[in-house]
Amino acid sequence: MNEKIKISADGRGTAKILRAFQGEHNARTYQIEIDGPDGQQIDLSGTTAMFYISEKDKVLQLPMTISENSVSVTLTNEACRTSGDLKCWIQIVKPQAYDLRVDNLILRVFPCKIDEAVPDDGQVPALYQLISETEKAIQKANQAADKAIEYTTAFQNSGYHNSIYRGKDISANEADGSMYTNIANGTFDDIFVGDYFTKTINGTSYVLRVAGCDLYLNRSDTALTAHHIAVIPDTVLGDYPMHDAATTDGGYVGTKMYADTLPLWDGYFSTAFGTHLLTLRELMVNEIASGMPSGWSWFGRKTIIMTLEEVAGCNSFGAYYTWYPYNIGISYGQLPLFRLSPDKICIRHTYWLRNMVSSSLLSTITDTGDLNRSNIVNPNGLRPMFLLG
């Protein structure tokens, strides 16, 4: 019996299951295609390959044959002598070029009473018993596979993916577009809080980290209906003053940061991400009375300065009572990144938040990690959030 499977060289995705029955001998051959990080099949010309099975008491190695861009292994009786799940891997060597180990393989050997099933002196009923047990094993395997599919589907949603911090490098997924596919369909497969990818923006490479999935779905005056992830850089993008004068007349949207700096980064992000970069319409302060926010309106923005509530999960200096809601609008609730991994809040560099404290002060997270405020003419770090979908 010949079966074909395809796996990724970097071990992405769920483990591939190779199925066999206890006692088989040279009855099953697996032909395996291996994709590189770019999604293209690895050129196997000039290589040698071995298949390894980690058993309880030893590691078994089986020779592999190479044909064009695939490798094949035939499972021997020794490979199938013990039932259960056995960890496997492939070692591919190209002299003076590379030594590649491919993991994320499991050999699943289903139990079978082989000793009782071997015909002896024409005892055909034993063979029928073997066939019956094999059919039952196959049925159980199919039922288990169906349950696994149900289990996987149950967790294809933003709520589940917002509850786990993983911290995996998903740069390859961003580059090949699969990340955007899994955002758009709302499954968020292989995307978790804390996962990151590198991207060159305006000539500089940044580490960009997933802060949460579908955090703003259905919010805004016009509902945001596109599935999305919120992304935050691990470092600041540069130091900028919030305004060029020590006054907050016109509120947050009246600042130089909002009018000049953020549109500049809107352009940089648009160049890097194209149509995947989304606009979020938020309630933002546009009126000030006696140094306190007193009015707001809906404004669309691609590059977003976060609120205290989104980063620290609470307020600090500044407006309370009737003035307080103007500072946060729809940007409430600590982001999953900072809730699950608080060490990502302080980056040893002071950066702006958009909560207005007084007529000349706005909130910051300082380089020592405290919630503070700074005069708006002071240059502080720009560490914005943006949405990709």
> Do 178 and 316 belong to one domain?
yes
> Do 105 and 175 belong to one domain?
no
> Do 99 and 178 belong to one domain?
no
> Do 189 and 62 belong to one domain?
no
Tell me what pLDDT residue 129 has: 67
Task: Kindly report, residue by residue over 65-117, the tens digit of the pLDDT.
Answer: 998 789 999 999 888 888 899 999 999 998 888 888 998 899 999 887 644 44
In a domain, 157, yes or no: no
Tell me what pLDDT residue 126 has: 60
The b-or-e profile of 55-70 (16+ CB within 10 A means b, else e) is eeeeebebebeeeeeb
> Do 221 and 351 belong to one domain?
yes
Tell me what pLDDT residue 165 has: 95
Tell me what pLDDT residue 152 has: 65
Of 304, 151, 129, residue with least CA distance to 216? 304
Looking at the 3D structure of the chain, how many domains does it have? Answer: 2
Look up the pTM and report it: 0.62
Count of other CB atoms within 10 angstroms of residue 365: 25
> Do 356 and 233 belong to one domain?
yes
> Do 229 and 372 belong to one domain?
yes
Q: With a cut of 70, which residues of the chain have pLDDT below it?
A: 113-129, 131-132, 145-153, 317-323
Is residue 65 helix, strand or coil? strand
In a domain, 129, yes or no: no
Task: Kindly report, residue by residue over 181-204, the tens digit of the pLDDT.
Answer: 999 999 999 999 999 999 999 999
Cross-strand bridge partners of residue 21: 110
> Do 104 and 201 belong to one domain?
no
Burial of 194 (0-12, 13-18, 19+ CB in 10 A): middle
